[in-house]
Amino acid sequence: MSASPETTPTTGGGPLADVIVLDLTRALAGPHAAMMLGDLGARVIKVETPGSGDDTRGWGPPFVGENSDVATYFLSCNRNKESITLDLKSEAGVAALTELVRRSDVLMENFRPGVLDRLGFPMERLTELNPRLVVLSISGFGHDGPQGGRAGYDQIAQGEGGLMSMTGPDPETPTKSGVPISDLLAGMYGAYGVLAALHERERTGKGGLVRTSLLAAVVGVHAYQGTRWTVAKEIPKAEGPHHPSICPYGLFHSADGIVQIAVGSEGLWAKFAPAFDLPVDGEGFRTNQERVRNSTAVRAAVEESFARYSTGDLLAKLSAVGVPSGEVKNLQQVYEWDQTRSQGLVIDVDHPTLGPIELPGPPLRFFDGEGGEWKRQHTSPPLLGQHTDDVLAWLATPETPAS
């Protein structure tokens, strides 16, 4: 690996503490992938356009700060990074990027296919500069194929990838996810691919190219809905807040609110039904297969029974019976929940202009064999060009030879 104690900021170690990531991405898919590696201890150097920077610096409201100039969107996907600005149309910018390529372990980009080539850094050039470099390239619909050069935006990919056709209250109301799930999944798959390529490099001594796309990410999570079509030739349709293959499993109403239940086995049904005066062995109720076919009647019976209970009493009874259940929280409730905080899913960072702020935290935790937990020393999303001078000074010094 390329990083050295003399050049890498203290980050508290971590699984990727000896990895340098050159982040040429913007918007969400690529920045999320790079942030995931930063969460694992990698040094992530984010290259931005002078003056404007990453597109998401301007995506708002909400903006926060004394002059209301910091976009919360940017804060969501750029923790644990350094920011430098380079004019890649200038000789100095190209020279700095060339040296960064030489010193990095990973390069991430999500330009439209061909843009990096036009900047003078095709894959052949990258490999020539650094044969051990692992490159992650994220596109909208793939780098080849009949629509390989097509621009990709999250909601368009959700629609084109079939996700919206299965999401929403009914088949006539295609609905996007509440988060940019195509972007996020592409970033996650990209980071996953990079880790595999880094592992392979330890065996072969050579880097390589990893590609994914928003389309691939969406199709990659079709799961049982995908095989409904590829095997059974059924076209899944939106069914609102209920499972298409398990019943009852979904959202129901109490006397004063909403609860969700997951009666995911016949054993659970045998406990659930008598507790709520439902016909355990009634016609259309006996097996999950029958209940799915008879789902309208089953759901109506559950709704009628649940209407007799307050939300609190209903959740308590479901818990006592052993049926998985829960309420539907808003994000304030989620981030104030002691369970969320116990899992490290809220972190504290000190922002250069905002001061102490809380951010959503990474979803992984690492422990050694004796139960000791590694905790990342998180850094806030950077100001535009905050680390330019420091990184350029580092590039101007000779590399520390690998030990």
What gap in Å lies between CA 321 and CA 300, rounded to an integer? Answer: 20
Q: Where are the domains of the chain?
A: 20-221+340-395, 249-326
Which residues lie closer than 8 Å to 112 by C-beta, 6 or more apart? 139, 140, 149, 151
HSE toward the beta carbon, residue 389, CA cutoff 13 A? 1
Which token pair is 71?
A: 């976009």
pLDDT in tens, 224-250: 999 999 999 999 999 899 999 999 999
Q: Which residue has the tokens 């806030």?
A: 380
Select from 118, 138, 124 the least CA-distant residue to 207.
124
Average confidence (pLDDT) over 195-201: 98
**pLDDT bucket at 7, cuts 50 / 70 / 90:** very low
**pLDDT bucket at 6, cuts 50 / 70 / 90:** very low
Decide whether 20-221+340-395 matches 249-326 in CATH topology. Answer: no
- Judge: domain 249-326, CATH 3.30.1540.10: yes
Which token pair is 76?
A: 């969501």
Give the active site residues.
183
Select from 145, 284, 279, 260 the least CA-distant residue to 213.
145
pLDDT in tens, 99-120: 999 999 999 999 988 889 999 9
What gap in Å lies between CA 381 and CA 285, rounded to an integer? Answer: 53
Which pLDDT value is given to residue 44?
A: 98
Distance of CA 51 to CAs 55, 86, 173, Å? 11, 10, 41
CATH code for the structural domain at 20-221+340-395: 3.40.50.10540
Q: Which residues pair with 83 in a beta bridge?
A: 46
> Helices H, strands E: what count in the chain?
16, 15
pLDDT of 123 above 70: yes
